[in-house]
Amino acid sequence: MREIQMVDLRAQYENLKDEIDRAIQAVLQSTAFIKGPEVGMFEDELKEYSGARHVVSCANGTDALQIAMMSLGLNHGDEVITTNFTFVATIEVLALLGLKPVIVDPDPGTFNISPDSIRKAITPRTRAIIPVHLFGQCADMESILSIAAGHNLFVVEDAAQATGARFIFSNGNVKKAGTIGTIGTTSFFPSKNLGCYGDGGALFTDDDELAGKIRSIANHGMKIRYHYNYVGINSRLDTLQAAILRVKLRHLDSYNEARRHAADYYDKAFKECQDIMVPLRSSFSSHIFHQYTLKVKGGKRDELKRYLGERGIPSMIYYPGPLHMQNAYRYLGYGENDFPVTNSLCREVLSLPVHTEMDREQLEYITGCVLEFFNNN
Ligand SMILES: *Cc1c(COP(=O)(O)O)cnc(C)c1O
């Protein structure tokens, strides 16, 4: 059996080697390492794929969030509501920009930000909401858009874990993750569903004026060369990464499908097991399984993780500590027990390997070991 990894980037590369090597060679020959033609071509292809009116690439997913927040014209101390159960990037950029992160509990079933907790957190100073489409499934965007419309708020979607996921509105309309709110952001970190071989990110918007501002902010705030309209940053997707992403974008749908196959296999194998809850699948979103995340009942999560590790099966805890208890964010003044849902998820979640090259033998072995653990414990 091939060694099991959370994400097997080498096996994926081996299957794409000819296409990828050719794309990299072409950039090496051109030496247009910054702002080469592949960057614009990739933006156009991602625009086509996503259905967004504008796509602006940048250096990584965290920059994408920062640029999005910089483009909205918010004032110091304005409040932005986001989820407590996610990667730190969202609250980090708010803190850096002098905005006030207002964090709320997720829905315990989907792990995504809960519309009810958003409603409760709104104050006269609230200006925006940042839902994160966690683990590959869209947050409840229809409810979030309606809350935002009622309070005149911007919605910035963090779609770093959900590139290619589809949101289905109750009227049947379908939109891709990241193209639903005011602005969407994503990351091309290597392990993301659409990942490059280094760092990369992008923003999506349908708003022509915002798109121009976003493109300018990502390029030092420049409008025409050496004339600066905004305080900007330097955040570029480099040409090599764009060339790699052009190849991988063509495979994204089949990759997402492969992840879903692995998830279906897990779901079926774990159906009878009372000690674990398999990921809940929302009716309003496809799930592209950036992570396959179990909830382990009865305080056995850490023991299961150890058991699997001893048998050559990696697993990860996303996320082990709630954001409100991190030293850097103590200044926000939250108490340990302010977020019961986040606290209990941090004790229960365990993500199993899920990637584009998983084979039947690996899936059989992993599910066999998980079930064996619960039969013996
Ligand atoms: C990966 C990730 C980011 C940050 O992306 P980088 O490209 O690593 O900066 C932001 N938000 C979420 C939810 C992520 O998973």
Q: What is the pLDDT of residue 52?
A: 98
Q: Which two tokens stand for residue 308?
A: 């699997």
Angle formed at CA 292 by CA 290 and CA 298, multiple of 5 degrees: 145
Question: Could you tell me if the CB of 186 is within 6 A of ligand 1?
Answer: no
With a cut of 90, say whether residue 223 has pLDDT above it: no
Q: Which of 8-22, 96-110, 218-232, 348-362 has the lowest mean pLDDT?
A: 218-232
Indicate the pLDDT class of residue 219, thresholds 50, 70 and 90.
very high
Residues 6+ apart with CB under 8 A from 58: 64, 67, 200, 201, 202, 203, 218, 235, 236, 237
| All structural domains of the chain with their residue ranges | 9-104+114-249, 252-375
Angle formed at CA 38 by CA 291 and CA 255, multiple of 5 degrees: 25
Contact indicator for 57, 201 with CB cutoff of 8 Å: yes
Indicate the pLDDT class of residue 275, thresholds 50, 70 and 90.
very high
Indicate the pLDDT class of residue 213, thresholds 50, 70 and 90.
very high
| pLDDT (mean) for 139-155 | 98
**Per CATH, which fold does 252-375 belong to?**
Aspartate Aminotransferase, domain 1 (3.90.1150)
With a cut of 90, say whether residue 75 has pLDDT above it: yes
Site of tokens 């697993």: 315
Q: What is the pLDDT of residue 309?
A: 98
Task: Report percent pLDDT > 70 for the chain.
Answer: 100
Backbone dihedral angles phi then psi of residue 145, each to the nearest 5 degrees:
-60, -35
| pLDDT (mean) for 60-80 | 98
Q: What is the pLDDT of residue 369?
A: 98
Mean pLDDT of the chain: 97
| pLDDT (mean) for 285-304 | 97
Backbone dihedral angles phi then psi of residue 82, each to the nearest 5 degrees:
-145, 175
What is the separation, in whole angstroms, between the first and last Cα of the chain? 26
Backbone dihedral angles phi then psi of residue 276, each to the nearest 5 degrees:
-130, 150
Q: What is the pLDDT of residue 65?
A: 98
| pLDDT (mean) for 7-12 | 97
Indicate the pLDDT class of residue 319, thresholds 50, 70 and 90.
very high
The span from the CA of 36 to the CA of 25, in Å, is: 13
pLDDT digits 0-9 by tens, 76-123? 999 999 999 999 999 999 999 999 999 999 999 999 999 999 999 999
Which atom of ligand 1 lies nearest, measured to the CA of 86? 13
With a cut of 90, say whether residue 60 has pLDDT above it: yes
pLDDT digits 0-9 by tens, 236-249? 999 999 999 999 99
Residues 6+ apart with CB under 8 A from 240: 24, 27, 33, 197, 198
Q: What is the pLDDT of residue 176?
A: 98
pTM exceeds 0.85, yes or no: yes
Question: Could you tell me if the CB of 201 is within 6 A of ligand 1?
Answer: yes
Q: Whose CA is nearest to atom 2 of ligand 1?
A: 160
pLDDT digits 0-9 by tens, 165-212? 999 999 999 999 999 999 999 999 999 999 999 999 999 999 999 999
Q: Best of 57, 62, 133, 241 to mutate for ligand 1, by most ligand atoms within 8 A of CB?
A: 62
Question: Could you tell me if the CB of 111 is within 6 A of ligand 1?
Answer: no
Q: What is the pLDDT of residue 255?
A: 98
Cα–ligand 1 centroid distance for 300 (angstroms): 29
Rg (CA), the chain: 21
Q: What is the pLDDT of residue 224?
A: 87
Architecture label for domain 9-104+114-249:
3-Layer(aba) Sandwich (3.40)
The span from the CA of 89 to the CA of 66, in Å, is: 9
With a cut of 90, say whether residue 377 has pLDDT above it: no
Which atom of ligand 1 lies nearest, measured to the CA of 188? 7
Site of tokens 């304005």: 78
Strand stretches in the chain, DSSP E: 54-58, 79-83, 100-104, 126-130, 154-158, 166-168, 174-176, 183-187, 201-205, 276-277, 292-296, 349-352
The span from the CA of 53 to the CA of 55, in Å, is: 7
Cα–ligand 1 centroid distance for 87 (angstroms): 7
pLDDT digits 0-9 by tens, 14-48? 999 999 999 999 999 999 999 999 999 999 999 99
Task: Report percent pLDDT > 90 for the chain.
Answer: 98
Residues 6+ apart with CB under 8 A from 9: 190, 191, 195
Q: What is the pLDDT of residue 12?
A: 97
